[in-house]
């Protein structure tokens, strides 16, 4: 009987010690520290038809552990556009300056081009895009996001037209009136043109934390444009990479409530 009691006592003591050890054991730290803001400074790499029109993206994630709202900025590049809707205003006056008898004007649109210097690739590197979206952590440093880019560039645009017209010629011999047709290539400058566009993106990225505090990290992200209405030189797919910083800590609020409440019945 004493032997059985001793065995039960040892087993109970072992479970008690294990329970104490588990409760007293330090909690395992999360793989990603909590932060108020993640800030990525990246560079854009060529993938497919992507060129150097967009090469300096900045992305901030307001949240913690790769979760949060995305607010980003990047410069935009625009190629010379084939068609820009515009109604000519002064083409008839240009014809009348050297042929006052012209009439019956017919205007045919040809093309448009941005009237600012281009780089070697024929890309206008003067624009800005705002990125808004949401990012969700998947596992450790792996994350996915959904975002929309809103692109804007303001510049002068030159529009090319073929203008056809008629004019009358009176013969000096017999006074007969002859009607002739002619045409001329003319251009008209639109001094301030705002070009807007948008793009819907999905993204998949990974962060590699650096240091014991993990406040710095290396970031790489692949972005695919599901819908592209931006008129930008950025291709359907782009690859970004750079360095990131985890800034601040989330604000925490706490209060002490009433733990024990004793009630006493009221005698009537």
Indicate whether 173 pLDDT > 60. yes
Specify the DSSP element, H or E, that contains 201: strand 177-210
What is the tens place of the pLDDT at every residue in 188-236? 888 878 888 899 999 999 999 998 888 899 999 999 999 988 877 777 8
- For the residues of 33-99, what is the DSSP string, one character each? ---SEEEEEEEEE--TT--TTS---EEEEEEETTEEEEEEEEE--BPPPS------SSHHHHHHHH-
250, pLDDT greater than 90: no
Helix (H) or strand (E) holding 216, with range, is strand 216-229
Q: Please report where in the chains the tokens 């203008």 appear, as a residue.
A: 163
pLDDT for position 265: 61
Q: Model confidence over 88-97: pLDDT tens digits?
A: 888 999 999 8
pTM as predicted? 0.64
Q: How many Å apart are CA 234 and CA 26, to the nearest integer?
A: 49
Structure tokens at 105: 């004007």
Structure-token match 């890309």, residue found: 123
Residue whose C-alpha is closest to residue 135's, from 187, 64, 230: 64
């Amino acid at each position: 009987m004493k032997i059985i009691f001793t065995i039960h006592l040892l087993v109970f003591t072992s479970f008690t010690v294990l329970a104490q050890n588990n409760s007293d054991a330090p909690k395992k730290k999360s793989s990603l520290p909590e932060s108020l803001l993640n800030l990525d400074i990246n560079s854009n790499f060529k993938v497919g038809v992507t060129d150097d029109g967009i090469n300096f993206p900045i992305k901030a994630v307001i949240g913690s552990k790769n979760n949060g709202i995305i607010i980003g900025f990047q410069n935009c590049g625009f190629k010379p556009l084939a068609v820009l809707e515009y109604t000519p205003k002064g083409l008839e006056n240009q014809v009348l300056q050297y042929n006052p008898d012209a009439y019956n004007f017919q205007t045919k649109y040809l093309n448009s081009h941005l009237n600012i210097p281009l780089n070697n690739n024929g890309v206008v590197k003067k624009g800005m895009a705002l990125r808004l979206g949401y990012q969700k952590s998947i596992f450790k440093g792996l994350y996915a996001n959904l975002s929309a880019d809103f692109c804007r560039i303001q510049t002068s645009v030159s529009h090319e037209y073929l203008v056809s017209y008629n004019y009358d010629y009176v013969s000096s011999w017999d006074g007969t009136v002859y009607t002739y047709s002619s045409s001329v290539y003319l251009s008209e400058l639109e001094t301030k043109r705002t070009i807007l566009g948008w793009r819907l993106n999905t993204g998949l990225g990974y962060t590699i934390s650096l240091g014991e505090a993990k406040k710095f990290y290396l970031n790489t992200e692949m972005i695919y444009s599901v819908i592209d209405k931006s008129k930008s030189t950025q291709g359907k797919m782009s690859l970004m990479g750079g360095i990131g910083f985890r800034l601040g800590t989330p604000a925490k609020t706490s209060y002490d409530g009433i733990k024990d409440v004793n009630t006493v019945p009221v005698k009537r």
